Structure 1
Amino acid sequence: MPSFKKFPLAGWGLLLSLTLLPGCGYQPLHGANTPAAQQLPLVQINNIPDRLGQQLRNNLIDKFYRDGRPASPEYTLDISLVPNVYKLGIALDDSATRAELNLVANYTLRNMQGAAVLSGTTTSVTNFNILSSQYATLIGERDAYDRSVVQVSEDITRRVSLFFNRDPVTASAQ
């Protein structure tokens, strides 16, 4: 028989919070039966210019569509990207040693009548080193862009899912 004296107080608090969690109104954001799971596949993600936009669109497609693209979408999602690279670390010879990538995405979710039902801006900030090897710097910069695209796609998916989960009747009627 286990001894309750060995079970730490923090363990009891965790157990208590897990038993009370369903009573607080908590609902999963990305469950199979959530309004977001039913509405996200009805969003047509429009093309985003440039290679970076293509990467973002592909990430969003992977997150929005489980069974293929919508045959008759109810919403369209327009996104514009603005990347900026700032040199941060400066060495004694005035060369940069560190850079910051700011990726700003403006998005608008429109219903089929063309009315904007959700819009906003999300930003991702990542850093990379500027090394003496150009190849290593290029790889670091590409990795910073890749990480930024993933962060922006996750944030847009989260915000659109929250929109659909708030009031699914209003969201689908708009």
Structure 2
Amino acid sequence: MVSNKTNPLARWGTLLCLMLLPACGYQPLHGASAPAAHELTLVQVNNIPNRLGQQLRNSLIDRFYRDGRPAAPEYTLDIGLSPSIAKLGIALDDSATRAELTVLANYTLRNAQGAAVLSGTTTSVSNFNILLSQYATLIGEQDAYDRSVSQISEDITRRLSLYFNRDPVKPS
């Protein structure tokens, strides 16, 4: 027989751990006191070719700028996108029933002098069904692109925030 009562000692232990969490130096990544929130407003997101690039740029602008674009940006962000679609789930009549969209994004953050201070690659993989209705397939494919843009935008924002929140290296 299982009792629904929890151990009072376990409850107090959990409460104690939660109370000690701020003492360990934990701070939220996008907190109001985080330097990343301010630094992201100083990043100019350069144009990215194609419709997918426009969507990604708009998503990053929405994430970075709360009070308008920077008048004097201290950083520029360059991004290159490489989307590809692979047909999966082959039916008996050799037609594809599923597709996988992979979007590869290479990004480089440059300081005011033009030197690269951070670069990397992020990838998003989304799937969609290939249906008999071309319209339904097109809507599914567009949704996969939208999900990929959202994932890449979130990942780039997170990586830049981590870069801006790092402890600066002090000369010895």
Worse-superposed segment, 12-21 or 122-131: 12-21
Provide, for residues 118-154 of structure 1, a one-character-per-residue CA deviation record: whole Å limited to 9, x for no partner. Answer: 0000000010000011000000000000000000000
CA drift at 1:12: 4.4
Task: Quote the sequence identity (%).
Answer: 78
Between the aligned partners of 1:8 and 1:155, the Cα distance in structure 2 is 40
Assess, with a 3 A threshold, how the Cα gap between structure 1 residues 6 and 32 changes in structure 2: closer, same or farther.
same
Q: Which residue number in structure 2 is paired with residue 106 of structure 1? A: 106
Count, aligned residues: 165
Between the aligned partners of 2:115 and 2:7, the Cα distance in structure 1 is 55
Assess, with a 3 A threshold, how the Cα gap between structure 1 residues 22 and 145 changes in structure 2: closer, same or farther.
same
Between the aligned partners of 1:133 and 1:8, the Cα distance in structure 2 is 57
Q: Secondary structure at the match of 1:86?
A: strand
Q: Which residue number in structure 1 is paired with residue 40 of structure 2? A: 40
Q: Secondary structure at the match of 1:128?
A: strand
Q: Which residue number in structure 1 is paired with residue 163 of structure 2? A: 163
CA drift at 1:18: 1.3
**One-letter amino acid matched to 2:159:** R
Q: Which residue number in structure 2 is paired with residue 19 of structure 1? A: 19
CA drift at 1:26: 0.9
Ranges in structure 1 where 5+ consecutive residues have no aligned partner: none
RMSD value, Cα: 1.6
TM-score using structure 1 length = 0.90
Between the aligned partners of 1:24 and 1:84, the Cα distance in structure 2 is 44
CA drift at 1:87: 0.5
Which structure has more helix as a fraction of its residues?
A: 1
Runs of 4+ in structure 1 off by over 6 angstroms are none
Provide, for residues 22-71 of structure 1, a one-character-per-residue CA deviation record: whole Å limited to 9, x for no partner. Answer: 12221111112210011000000000000000000000000000000000
